Amino acid sequence: MPSHCHRGGPAGNGLCCIAPPYLLEQLAESGDENQQKAAERALASLSVVRARRAVTAQLIADPKVDVKALGLVAQGTGSAIKVYDAHGLPFNSFELPGNLLLSTDNPPPGPDTQANQAFDGARATLEFYSEILNRDGIDGKGMDVISSVHVSDQQGNPWENAAWISTQMVYGEGGHIFKSGSLTSALDVIGHELTHGVTQFTAALEYRSQSGALNESMSDVVGSMIKQFVGKETAATADWLIGEGLLLKPGSKALRSMLEPGTAYDGDPQPGKMNDYHELPETEAGDNGGVHINSGIPNRAFALAAIKLGGNSWDEAGRIWYKTLTEKLRPDAQFADAAKATLEVAEELFPGGRASAAVEEAWKEVEVLP
């Protein structure tokens, strides 16, 4: 498979919000009155996020467009971090980012807890990319990382989501689906969303069916590694949960489990092997072909590979998956393409067969490879 990188593109058509639509649909049907209303509003916001991201990503993908001159990519030569108070501006407002609260020149602590957390999460993400993966920021060229906290939905209600919108991060307050103020508290959530930006500037994985599930999975992979990196956890000791403890849904552990897909909460539909793959329409109602649902399969492959290889997840497995994302995958890559590419990269980075054997065994366990 040829090496292949992109400036941006179809990845921008996705609904890159941390709350998956299938969870929102469950709560819209079975939650309490406040959860039902909040979930319905959050579902309505997904198409708006997609429309904004699609337009912006198309411009970023055009080599003739000076994205920094237009303000589509924040100017920067050292990945400065800036956090703004949106003061209730809608997540899709072109008046964002809002009023500056914190910056690299004026770092935490400040009086706003969510701003402090958004700053710290962005800093941890950038440090991981720089120190472990040798990447200069989200675009690979040191773009500034902009975040807005206290954003609302289109009707001015607290937004029940967090998202990368092609140019910056936006964080809602939560309160009915997520614990109030919690969306900035999880390093894996922040790392997940910012990695959608990395994918946007590299593989540009199309946000539909298997390529879209790979897009989501790559974000979970890096988000989980950042959580483990900061928490000093090995692959064997990590819990492999994404968004642990954020949901108000009774009995929920997290948004997703990478190691045991389908166990994060009652009704979690994620499969962990191809025999349970969800064939869904490539529509908004079908989660764009199940991008959030079927990501459980490549998620589990990564977690299994990392555990088999031992040590820290980023020592070998993480480097293999990162190089695969940034150098090997085409926008329409399928699970089998990703599996074959990780095998190729494993041997390139760690010749001798031990790494590639562990990676192959993991993909076989989730039934992507025969």
Task: Establish whether 173 is a catalytic residue.
Answer: no
> How far apart are the C-alpha atoms of 207 and 210, rounded to whole Å?
8
The Cβ of residue 77 has, within 10 Å, a number of other Cβ atoms equal to: 11
The residue type of 25 is E
Nearest in space to 187 (alpha carbons), one of 133, 134, 135, 118:
118
Task: Establish whether 193 is a catalytic residue.
Answer: yes
- Catalytic one of 6, 176, 192, 193: 193
Contacts of 134 (CB under 8 A, 6+ apart): none
In 122-184 the beta strands, taken as DSSP E runs, fall at: 145-151, 162-164, 169-172
3-state secondary structure 280-338: CCCCCCCHHHHCCCCCHHHHHHHHHHHHHHCCCCCCCHHHHHHHHHHHHCCCCCCHHHH
> How far apart are the C-alpha atoms of 359 and 302, rounded to whole Å?
8
- Catalytic one of 192, 292, 316, 360: 292
Catalytic residues: 193, 292
